[in-house]
Amino acid sequence: MTAHVSIPPLGLAHFTALEVPPLELVGLAARTGFASIGLRLVAAAPGTPVYALRAGSPEVAELRHRLHDNAVRVHDLEIVTIDEHFDPQGLEPVLDAGSEIGASRLSVCADDPDRSRLVDRFAALCDLAAHYAIGVDLEWMGWRAVRTLDDALDVVIRAGRPNAGVLVDALHLKRNGGSPADIARVPPGLIRSVQLCDARAEAPVGTEAIIAEARGGRLPPGEGALPLAELVAALPADANLSFEVPMGTALPAEERVHPAH
């Protein structure tokens, strides 16, 4: 008899197929077996693809219809960088549009070296997002001021907001000294979002190489050496799992995404 393994609903991170606009991403997710999507509404870096959505616009109305018709939901909006110049109020248009399409979370990273100021601004962003019924997840990255799980937990715990959490990325966890055992010790309720990918056993050396791997050198789960089974086993049962593996555009998005799922 074949054993049946229960697989939770999987999300499709926009970074996996960033060339696909939001309206088309909904159908792509539905056709390839994904239950939710993320949307890149804030540029991760200058010159990178980003999509603007305006609350009350015909595009947002059409997006809501497509989400409903395809039984797909929006999990997160991404990705905000909190640096020394960050003003939470500037994100109101993004949160307003996100609320209209039912987004659950806003994903952020942090590049402010002043930890006290960072905590205050993260808390202010959480308060603003709460008005739109959206939570805020802080992701750590090795080249930013918040570079480890402990850094992210410090900010989130000090902010003390009920809608705040940490975003666990399988690559960043491994490359910045973390392990599934560390995930198991995170206080309950702080892990809401998880991005899954795989990677080679050998870690890149140097900041440029580390960034290059994160943005273009990931592997689909099962094709590398990350301890993904152990990671998933350590996660809370209600964490949202998303597939985040940018794989270039040599093949059409559906031909890249469907086999990976």
How far apart CA 88 and CA 174 sit, in angstroms, is 30
User: Are the beta carbons of 149 and 176 closer than 8 angstroms?
Assistant: yes
Average pLDDT over the chain, rounded to whole? Answer: 94
Q: Is the pLDDT of residue 2 over 50?
A: no
Count, residues in the chain:
261
Q: Is the pLDDT of residue 1 over 60?
A: no
Q: Give residue-wise pLDDT tens across range 104-121.
A: 999 999 999 999 999 999
Residue 83, phi then psi, degrees to nearest 5: -115, -170
Per-residue confidence (pLDDT) for residue 49, from 0 to 100: 87
Alpha-carbon separation of residue 187 from 43, 48, 52, 232 (angstroms): 30, 34, 35, 16
3-state secondary structure 94-150: HHHHHHHCCCCEEEEEECCCCHHHHHHHHHHHHHHHHCCCCEEEEECCCCCCCCCHH
* Percent over 90 (pLDDT), the chain: 90
User: Are the beta carbons of 138 and 155 closer than 8 angstroms?
Assistant: yes
Per-residue confidence (pLDDT) for residue 73, from 0 to 100: 98
SS3 76: strand
* Percent over 70 (pLDDT), the chain: 97
For residue 257, give the amino acid letter. V
Q: What is the pTM of this model?
A: 0.94
Q: Is the pLDDT of residue 249 over 90?
A: no
Q: Please give the structure tokens belonging to residue 194.
A: 């998880």
What's the half-sphere exposure (Cβ side, CA atoms, 13 Å) at 67?
A: 19
